Structure 1
Amino acid sequence: MSIFRAETPTVKQALPGAAETTPCHWRVKQFLEKLDKPPSNKVLDLNNCALNAADIKQLIAILPLLPDLEEIDLSWNDLIRGALQPLTLQFSHTQKLTVLRLNNCRLTAKDITSLGVALEVTPYLEILDLSWNNNIGGNLSSLTQKIPKGYHLKTLKVTDCSLTMEDGKSLAQLLNRIQSLEELDLSINKNIGRSLKSIAQELKYVSGLKVLNLHMCGLKQDGFQCLDDAFQYLRELKKLDVSCNKEMGGGFRNSDAHLANLRDLEVLDLHQCCITEEDMAILTEAALHLPELKILDLSWNKCVGGNLKLILKALNLEAELQELRLSSCSLVDKDLACLALVIQDGPLTKLQKLDLSYNHHISDQGWAMFYQRVGALEQLSELDVSLRPMLLRDCREWFGELLAALSKLPGLLELDLQGWVLSTSQQKQLESFNWDNERNVHINS
């Protein structure tokens, strides 16, 4: 390390704006040019660069020449595996570092320990993304135990890291030491649900949390109930994703619906949660009247079918909903009729994305009536009415209404009609629509 310092004349000579003749400038510039990366003294983006052993050796050598570095991204480089320790030893030269991304680097247990030590010399780190490193599972404590109380970490992502129940407990112990946390992503860690009670109890220490992602985390009924108790402290939460937790169904039954306290919530993702009729009743009595809600995903919850009227009534439609996803919800004609009436009345005028795919119970008459009203959604950019693969149906009974609706949707960019059988004449009419109206609607059929 002393050799690198001796080669560093001044901070300003490291990169652009410095004297081009300095040896350290050329070492950094040549390294980045070889990888087809622009020179920068603040951002080192080597994502998916297929770094080899020689590249990593050069990287270790140039890090001390970049004292103003604020962001490092080494994601999707397999050979980082086992080489993190010599890299992190140079982090003492990059104390301004605020962002570190190491996605899918095949990190080892030894790498995780080295990273924990390195955090002690990166006091300003705000974003740490370690997603898709399976060997973190069972070893997370060697990282979390090194993070001191008062550390200003704002984002922690450990998606699909094979986290264990013990990892969940060590994470829970960390939460009261990093009270500045704003985003926590634990998605695709199926065993985290077993330690969710421990995590939920400590969420009160991160009351400024804005994003909580628990997609596919093995949540069960009691797990969601523990989470519901924590919602009363998370008044600043903007995004909540508890999707693809199939054993969560029925978890609203014994909750106090603290979900309704999330007055700043903009995104609520409950798709594929096997929500029950009883859950739906609780949701529609208290939890969906959220004044800032912009995105709601209830897809793959069959009990939505026949109950869409209650859901739409429960929603605070003045919240200017922008995205509504109701794929595979067993919707029937009366659900679509209710949606059409709400569209006609005007509360959904800000809607940009509407997903009604895989709802094969809706009749041709139901679709025709819907297309007669959908033209009121002037800001709609994406509409998906696809059917399930291999479930082919004729669309001639409502094709005319669809074609007429397209001319009333000036913002539409994408229309998904997969599963509907279009005749040659109908296909030509859709092609002619784009040409005749100077539009560029991408139609998937």
Structure 2
Amino acid sequence: MGSKTSKDASKVFVDPNERYTAKQRQPGNWGWWANDVIKRIGQDDPNLGVVRLPAILLGSDGVREVVAALQANYTVRELDAARNQFNATAVLPVARCLVANTHLHTLNLNFNPLGPEGLRHFLEPLLHNEYLETLHLNTCGLGVAGAKTMAAIIQFNNSITDLDLSGNNFEAKGALHIGSALAHTFCLKRLRMGRNDIGDGGTKDLAQGLNRNRSLKLLDLSSNNIGPKGIRNFATLLEDISCGLEVLDLSHNFLAADGCRALMERLPHLKDLRILNLRNNEIGNEGVYYVNCAILHEACQKCKLDALDVSENSITADGLNYVCEILDERPDIRHLDITSNSIGEIGGGTLVDCLQENKGIVTLFFGSTDVSSEQSKEIQDRVEANREAQGLPIVGGVSRRGRNRPTFGSVDMDFKEVMLDKSIDLKALCADKAVNLACLGLSGLNIAKELATALLLTSSVTHLDLMGNKLKTDDAQVLAAALVHCPRLKVLKLSSNQLLDTGARAIAKLVAKTKSLTSLDLTYNQIGDSGAEDMALAMNRNKSLRVLAMEWNEIKRLDRVNDMLTTNTLLHTLRLSGNRIGNSGVTTLCSGCLQTNNYLTSLDLSLNGIQDDGGSDLRKLMLTNTSLMHITLSRNQISSDTVASIETCADRNLAAHGHRLEGLEGVDIPIVARGG
């Protein structure tokens, strides 16, 4: 998981769009502040965590300059480039940036006409990138062909947890590709597929994939022309669901009462569901009756439903009785939206009476319901009293108006704000294949032992993210001893902790014994030469590791690393940026392992105090090296001519190796070089 970036204005660079005239906003004419953006990105401004450039119409030159600056940046975590008219050609530098960038966690390209060709540029970078977690491609014209490419990314990428594919006209054929990919991903947690016209057939295909998925928590299928038949097929397949779905958005479809009944009959199988959005489905009083029967049924008493949206559904005062009965019997339901239903003053009186006893409701939207002004004030007072009793702010919790309200039932609300549980059930979390425990403050020997115990109880974990938990040496020793007994563990992220050399030695013992681990991240752990040597010695015994990141540590000597790479035939990516290697370290590699190693394809030595002497050694090496395709040397003191020569050789190798990855069902992988 990426680092949490403060919402404080000092942390975010926001484009002042309102200052632009129509003439200034033409493509390539992106304002007086452009140079300041580039300067702040290039200088690693510590206060620059988010760069927002929406609707700037950057043009090809502008995007190249921004991406070039990002290549050498280590602070920017989020890039918002929505509505910039990027086509397949203009977006190519952005795709290239992801080849070696290890710090960008969120990328927003919404409302850019990328098309399926533009998405293809991202295929190879995203198959190897293990840092990008959030990708927004809303309304990018991807179509059915783009859905096929996206399915390959979903299936093989190991980092993306939040994906927005709304408004791309996938139709039923595209939904088939996405559904097939869902059956094989263990990382994706939030998928937005609204406005894709997938219809009844596409809904069934998605449900089949969902039935085999274990990671998805949020699914948005709003505005997809789903009728009673489609939701019936979808609901039938929910009986064996095992992913623990928590948010389901079916708003703006055509479920009607029959479709609502089919869905409600399967509601007991969605035991982890927290938010259900049925907005604008014409379910009427009959449909809300089925909702009442399902929620109050004995089989649903242990369900976790917390928020319900039945707005715009032609519900009258009679139907509201069923809603109020739910509130009477289930005080754990805290959020309700009944906007734009003609309940009138009769329904308003029923709601007032219900809220006199209810202490649970803290969010209630009831705009455009024709209740009287007196009833409206009393309803608001009741809900505000509940909020105050629960220590919640008295702002935004109640809305009588139907316009511009913060719809809690849709996926527009921040997903984490909806998850109300404060405790962490480590045993339950470790039952998944992809376990994300980043930035949860899990430091402390007792917690480490509890986590180790949870890991020992399962053999299914394939991905474990413990970034940013302030784990210390003792914690690492306990966890490493437990992880030896996780036979399927492939990806382990331990960046931004406090392992030091002793902790690195413990992890090295794990590396020496494991037969499954393919990717290890030890970035930002104050590891010195001793820890690096232990890791190199462990690698001599390892038969599985392919990606090793030890960036931003305190490594100077590479003698043991050089010895390891001389014989290692598995490692293809080594990231050592932000250390103290200098010319001597580069010379050691160039005169040793890089002369004979034909397996290493990506090497990051940026920000290591390397000067022209070291750069010259690398340039001589690259004249004959045929395997290194990605070399990152930014933020060193190497002349631009030397860097350009080295990159030319790397691009030559990349073009010569234009390989295809197995299992992509004929999806071509474009040749991608580094941008900037």
Task: Say yes or no: TM over 0.5.
Answer: yes
Shift of 1:272: 0.8
Tell me how far apart the structure 2 counterparts of residues 95 and 234 of structure 1 sit (CA, whole Å): 36
User: In the alignment, which of 209, 213, 219 is matched to residue 164 of structure 2?
Assistant: 213
1:303 is the counterpart of 2:255? yes
Tell me how far apart the structure 2 counterparts of residues 174 and 381 of structure 1 sit (CA, whole Å): 43
Deviation digits for residues 92-115 of structure 1, max 9, x if unmatched?
A: 532979844233233221011122
Equivalent pair of 1:236/1:262 in contact (CA under 8 Å): no
1:405 is the counterpart of 2:354? yes
Tell me how far apart the structure 2 counterparts of residues 434 and 98 of structure 1 sit (CA, whole Å): 39
1:380 counterpart letter in structure 2: I
User: In the alignment, which of 416, 420, 423 is matched to residue 365 of structure 2?
Assistant: 416
Matches within 5 A, 1:305-344: 305-316=257-268, 319-344=271-296
2:311 counterpart letter in structure 1: S
Cross-structure match for 1:378: 331
Shift of 1:358: 1.1
User: In the alignment, which of 285, 290, 302 is matched to residue 236 of structure 2?
Assistant: 285
Shift of 1:128: 2.9
Cross-structure match for 1:257: 208
Tell me how far apart the structure 1 counterparts of residues 358 and 206 of structure 2 sit (CA, whole Å): 41
Matches within 5 A, 1:106-121: 106-121=57-72
Secondary structure of the residue aligned to 1:319 is coil
Deviation digits for residues 375-408 of structure 1, max 9, x if unmatched?
A: 23324333222226xxx56342x44432222123
Matches within 5 A, 1:91-170: 91-94=41-44, 99-104=49-54, 105-122=56-73, 126-135=77-86, 138-149=89-100, 151=102, 153-170=104-121
1:355 is the counterpart of 2:309? yes
Tell me how far apart the structure 1 counterparts of residues 184 and 256 of structure 2 sit (CA, whole Å): 29
Tell me how far apart the structure 1 counterparts of residues 380 and 77 of structure 2 sit (CA, whole Å): 49
Tell me how far apart the structure 1 counterparts of residues 354 and 132 of structure 2 sit (CA, whole Å): 46
Q: 1:98 to 1:198 in 2, by over 3 A?
A: farther
Equivalent pair of 1:148/1:177 in contact (CA under 8 Å): yes
2:318 counterpart letter in structure 1: Q
2:261 counterpart letter in structure 1: K
Q: 1:148 to 1:171 in 2, by over 3 A?
A: closer
Q: Alignment identity in percent?
A: 18
Tell me how far apart the structure 2 counterparts of residues 442 and 52 of structure 1 sit (CA, whole Å): 34
Q: 1:224 to 1:108 in 2, by over 3 A?
A: same
Shift of 1:248: 4.6
Shift of 1:354: 1.5
Q: 1:307 to 1:408 in 2, by over 3 A?
A: farther
Q: 1:331 to 1:343 in 2, by over 3 A?
A: same
After superposing the two structures, state which structure 1 stretch, 253-262 or 241-250, moved more. 253-262
1:169 counterpart letter in structure 2: R
Q: 1:393 to 1:354 in 2, by over 3 A?
A: closer
Structure 2 residue runs of 5 or longer lacking an equivalent are 1-7, 21-27, 402-676
Equivalent pair of 1:266/1:295 in contact (CA under 8 Å): yes
Cross-structure match for 2:125: 174
Cross-structure match for 1:367: 320
1:186 is the counterpart of 2:137? yes
Tell me how far apart the structure 2 counterparts of residues 205 and 49 of structure 1 sit (CA, whole Å): 38
Tell me how far apart the structure 2 counterparts of residues 228 and 300 of structure 1 sit (CA, whole Å): 21
Shift of 1:135: 4.2
Structure 1 residue runs of 5 or longer lacking an equivalent are 1-36, 54-77
2:337 counterpart letter in structure 1: D
Q: 1:313 to 1:249 in 2, by over 3 A?
A: closer
Matches within 5 A, 1:434-445: 442-444=398-400
Q: 1:194 to 1:305 in 2, by over 3 A?
A: farther
Shift of 1:121: 1.6
Matches within 5 A, 1:34-73: 44-48=11-15
Shift of 1:87: 4.4
Cross-structure match for 1:27: none
TM-score of the superposed pair, with normalisation by structure 1? 0.72
Shift of 1:410: 1.6
Secondary structure of the residue aligned to 1:268 is strand
Deviation digits for residues 45-67 of structure 1, max 9, x if unmatched?
A: 332557989xxxxxxxxxxxxxx
1:313 counterpart letter in structure 2: E
Q: 1:280 to 1:357 in 2, by over 3 A?
A: same
Equivalent pair of 1:109/1:136 in contact (CA under 8 Å): no
Secondary structure of the residue aligned to 1:251 is helix
Equivalent pair of 2:267/2:294 in contact (CA under 8 Å): no
Secondary structure of the residue aligned to 1:134 is coil
Tell me how far apart the structure 1 counterparts of residues 68 and 40 of structure 2 sit (CA, whole Å): 12
After superposing the two structures, state which structure 1 stretch, 103-112 or 121-130, moved more. 121-130
Cross-structure match for 1:34: none
Shift of 1:267: 1.1
Deviation digits for residues 230-261 of structure 1, max 9, x if unmatched?
A: 11232222111101223554213556811122
Tell me how far apart the structure 2 counterparts of residues 313 and 218 of structure 1 sit (CA, whole Å): 30
Equivalent pair of 1:81/1:107 in contact (CA under 8 Å): no
Shift of 1:363: 4.9
Secondary structure of the residue aligned to 2:90 is coil
- Structure ranking higher on relative contact order (CA contacts 8 Å, 6+ apart): 2
2:362 counterpart letter in structure 1: L
After superposing the two structures, state which structure 1 stretch, 233-242 or 425-434, moved more. 425-434
Q: 1:436 to 1:234 in 2, by over 3 A?
A: closer
Tell me how far apart the structure 2 counterparts of residues 278 and 181 of structure 1 sit (CA, whole Å): 37
Tell me how far apart the structure 2 counterparts of residues 254 and 101 of structure 1 sit (CA, whole Å): 37
Equivalent pair of 2:345/2:372 in contact (CA under 8 Å): no
Q: 1:121 to 1:363 in 2, by over 3 A?
A: closer
Q: 1:220 to 1:209 in 2, by over 3 A?
A: same
Q: 1:312 to 1:46 in 2, by over 3 A?
A: same
Equivalent pair of 1:265/1:290 in contact (CA under 8 Å): no
1:46 counterpart letter in structure 2: F
Tell me how far apart the structure 1 counterparts of residues 378 and 345 of structure 2 sit (CA, whole Å): 13
Equivalent pair of 1:82/1:110 in contact (CA under 8 Å): no
User: In the alignment, which of 180, 184, 193 is matched to residue 242 of structure 1?
Assistant: 193
Equivalent pair of 2:44/2:74 in contact (CA under 8 Å): no
Q: 1:114 to 1:358 in 2, by over 3 A?
A: same
Q: 1:82 to 1:250 in 2, by over 3 A?
A: farther
Equivalent pair of 1:180/1:206 in contact (CA under 8 Å): no
Q: 1:331 to 1:95 in 2, by over 3 A?
A: same
Q: 1:200 to 1:95 in 2, by over 3 A?
A: farther
Tell me how far apart the structure 2 counterparts of residues 316 and 220 of structure 1 sit (CA, whole Å): 29
Q: 1:395 to 1:164 in 2, by over 3 A?
A: same
Tell me how far apart the structure 2 counterparts of residues 50 and 443 of structure 1 sit (CA, whole Å): 30
After superposing the two structures, state which structure 1 stretch, 198-207 or 141-150, moved more. 141-150
Equivalent pair of 2:41/2:48 in contact (CA under 8 Å): no
